[in-house]
Structure 1
Amino acid sequence: MNAIDTRSLKRDSLFLSADLTLAEGGEPVRVKVRNLSDGGMMAEAPLAVERGTRVGIELRNIGRIKGSVAWTQDDRFGIVFDNEIDSKKVREPTAPGEKTPRYVRPSTIAPSSAFQTRDSSLRKI
């Protein structure tokens, strides 16, 4: 799958950490996953990578995925995976009975009940 093919896939915005390893080896680098789709992801880290660099990424509930850097901009870069994944698995609990952390769950547009007024009505200002 190439970078152009992955642009049409639904991306899920989230904030998650993952370990990235360059294909040449070396120690894993902790990156912030900014969005994720079945075909790729956007990561952020103070890491100098170039387009085409081969990487391995360790994602929660999925394991190690191989891919290559599709684009770079400042501290952010896009990775296209060699094989598609089920990106929804990243949001699932890792152990039985464990809840998915709030920062991994999709955000909602409607405010939670903690932010609603007692009579649930809006007042004009």
Structure 2
Amino acid sequence: MTDIDHRQVGRDSLFLMADLRVEGQAGDHRVKVRNLSAHGMMAECTVRVTSGVGVEVNLRNIGWVAGRVAWIQDNRFGIAFGNEIDPLLPRATAEIAPETPRYLKSAISAPDPRSLRKI
């Protein structure tokens, strides 16, 4: 696909937080993910980036994804991914294990026998 074709790919509007690493800058930056597709995303952040710079973004349930800054407008910028991702994975929530019933939980500590009242 050409760059023009990528603009026609469906995007999933959402609001997620992610970590961003920018080539040539130290440390990670928190960004807001505004929309996401298999080929890229729109991020919002106060970090200074330039068009064409390499970045990595840590997306929930996917991990670090490499890409390049495709465009910049104010504090928003587009990232074109190097490889396709499944854009539904970051939206998925982790399965929460059901709570263990009280009768199966072990006692944290046994009470002091001297503190028990005799009946």
- Same-fold status (TM-score > 0.5): yes
Higher relative contact order (CA 8 A, sep 6+): 1
Q: Percent identity, please.
A: 52
Q: Which residue of 2 aligns with 1:71?
A: 71
Q: Which residue of 1 aligns with 2:15?
A: 15
Q: Which residue of 1 aligns with 2:56?
A: 56
TM-score with structure 2 setting the length: 0.76
Q: Shift of the alpha carbon at 1:3?
A: 3.5
Indicate the structure (1 or 2) with the bigger Cα radius of gyration.
2
Preserved contact between residue 22 and residue 55 of structure 1 (Cα < 8 Å): yes
Total equivalences in the alignment? 97
Residue aligned with 2:88, SS:
helix
Runs of 4+ more than 2 Å apart: 1-5
Preserved contact between residue 2 and residue 80 of structure 1 (Cα < 8 Å): no
Q: Shift of the alpha carbon at 1:47?
A: 1.4
- Extract unaligned runs of 5+ from structure 1: 99-125
Residue aligned with 1:79, SS:
strand
- Extract unaligned runs of 5+ from structure 2: 98-119
